[in-house]
Amino acid sequence: LRLRLVRRELLGSAIEALGAFSEMGVRCGVLKQPLTIEYVGEAGQDAGGLRRQFFDLFTAELPASRLWTHTDAGGLRPVDRAALTAEAAAQLRPHMEACGRVCGMALYQELHRRLGVRWEPEVFAGQPPSLLGDSFARYFLRAVRHDPPATLAELQAELRAECPDSAPDYRAGPEILTRSLRESGLEGQTFVRHVGGAEVPLVEGGAVRAVCDESKAEWLQRMPPAGL
């Protein structure tokens, strides 16, 4: 498998190259073939270094696409879809498919083929190995795996994991459930989230449903997943 890329346009050329493979080709294992990377206008052969560099550079350049951003702790997550322009939204599916293919290639090429790691889910049950330049936010990976936090405590733990100690997320601590609405900064808050200049309802009729002491836990549970 040979990918011919443009170094100054690595992200776009990689997405274009990977988009050329049909779904049937992917299912038949085309992305499991030994991968080599070539750059237009550059001489030399890939002995493995360009391949590993490609995986590093690909995720590092994702925020430049305007479809990704970083959490406060530096993890990659998709930009809120409600904030996308129509043009960017139209690019979302092929872009995300290409990202998934790169991640799959990194796992297969660097772990299974090169290092001989067993290809079994339990291998990655703990901390996943670092194969990419920028890491994805932990709660985003849980969403991809269809394993969202099941309890409020789990959800708050995921929020804490994506916030530096110097700037904690006010939603992530237990105090928000015991303090008054004014002390928690929730006075006047409704069941909406703000994306740019738009309000996106968290529930039907959320714009007119005020958060109260009895509904704070429900508001907390609905707020972060809506951004995923």
Dist CA 58 CA 91 (whole Å): 17
Dist CA 169 CA 135 (whole Å): 20
pLDDT of residue 113: 57
* 192 sits in which H/E element: strand 192-195
Dist CA 152 CA 190 (whole Å): 19
Winning range, highest mean pLDDT, from 37-46, 63-72, 202-211:
202-211
pLDDT of residue 225: 57
pLDDT of residue 208: 93
CA distances in angstroms from 144 to 63, 78, 140, 147, 205, listed in the order given: 19, 11, 6, 8, 28
Residues 155 and 221 sit within 8 Å (Cβ to Cβ)? yes
Q: Higher-confidence residue: 29 or 197?
A: 29
Is the pLDDT at 190 greater than 90? The verdict is yes
pLDDT of residue 211: 93
What average pLDDT does range 46-69 have in this prediction?
Answer: 83
Q: What is the pTM of this model?
A: 0.71
